[in-house]
Amino acid sequence: MARPVDPNAKVELLRAAEAVFVERGLERARVEEITARAGRSKGSFYLHFESKEEAFRHIVEAMVARLASFIDDMDPSCCPVDATQPEVAEAWFEREVELFEFLWQNRGLTRLLLHGGGSAQFGHLVDAIAERARERTKGWLALGMSRGYYRPDLDVEVASVVVAGAYDRIARTLVRQDRKPDIRAWVRGVQRVLLGGLLDPRLAGAALAQNSQVPDPPVSHVAPRPGTTASPASSSSVPSSPSSHEPGGVRLAKKRAPRRSTG
């Protein structure tokens, strides 16, 4: 009679595999290291996975699915028509804090994916999440304009790239920290910049008036810096939630992130 499969073995192997991948990267990781850390045999590993690459795929797909759920929860249809802009901003602030808490809890894997320690064959998953987030952000910006939250001449294409870029950089900086920073303060700081800008309010009016008189240069006429090549603007490399100032439901459906992506 065949031995029954231990239902906990796969989870334990995936947790061990994630730890090894984070420490050594996919290319340098060995199956023997994974099984030793999990306290399992190589036979047990190959009962569940054909290779270390397949185990890595399971881990990455679980992480990406969780990030996608954050983005999908931020549906424009959940925004009450009578919500004020401050109420909406605060609701989004809390959702963004949850997202960055999740990235911190999974910082090793996030850092691996963002900084080249994983396989290039999974890069399209990260790119797809980034584009998904940018499109969602663009939708919220358009809705905000229709409700009078934002200036009527806002270019949602440019603004969505700017917002995505801000959150991409925050995510990259966060996962490189040795100690956990004050995530709420970080997100609040981004909110202040995106809502209020950089200029002192006493100077903002004159600066905006001057800027409105300067025509935008054609994109094709902008030369790259010496030693670089021109490239089109792109969305962020890591999925980002829409900014805290973007309209959204005051009460958003919450799906709490698991503390580990493979649990």
> In sequence order, what are the residues at sequence separation of 6 or more whose Cβ sits closer than 8 angstroms to the Cβ of residue 112?
21, 22, 25, 118
Residue 3 corresponds to which tokens in the numbers above?
């031995």
Rounded CA separation 69/133 (Å): 11
Least confident of 62-66, 86-90, 195-199, 202-206: 202-206
What domains appear along the chain, each with residue ranges and CATH number?
A: 60-199 (1.10.357.10)
Rounded CA separation 11/24 (Å): 20
Q: Is the pTM here over 0.95, yes or no? A: no
Least confident of 169-183, 194-208, 232-246: 232-246
Over residues 137-168, the pLDDT tens digits come to 888 888 888 888 888 888 999 999 999 888 88
pLDDT at residue 207 above 80?
no
> In sequence order, what are the residues at sequence separation of 6 or more whose Cβ sits closer than 8 angstroms to the Cβ of residue 109?
18, 21, 22, 59, 60, 63, 261
pLDDT at residue 220 above 50?
no
Query: Over the chain, what is the mean pLDDT?
Result: 77
Per the model's pLDDT, the better-predicted residue between 20 and 149 turns out to be 20
Sign for the pseudo-dihedral over CA of 61, 73, 245, 77: positive
The burial of 182, by beta-carbon neighbours within 10 Å (0-12 exposed, 13-18 middle, 19 or more buried), is given as exposed
Rounded CA separation 205/212 (Å): 11
What is the chain's Cα-based Rg?
22
What is the percent of the chain with per-residue pLDDT over 70, rounded to a whole number? 70
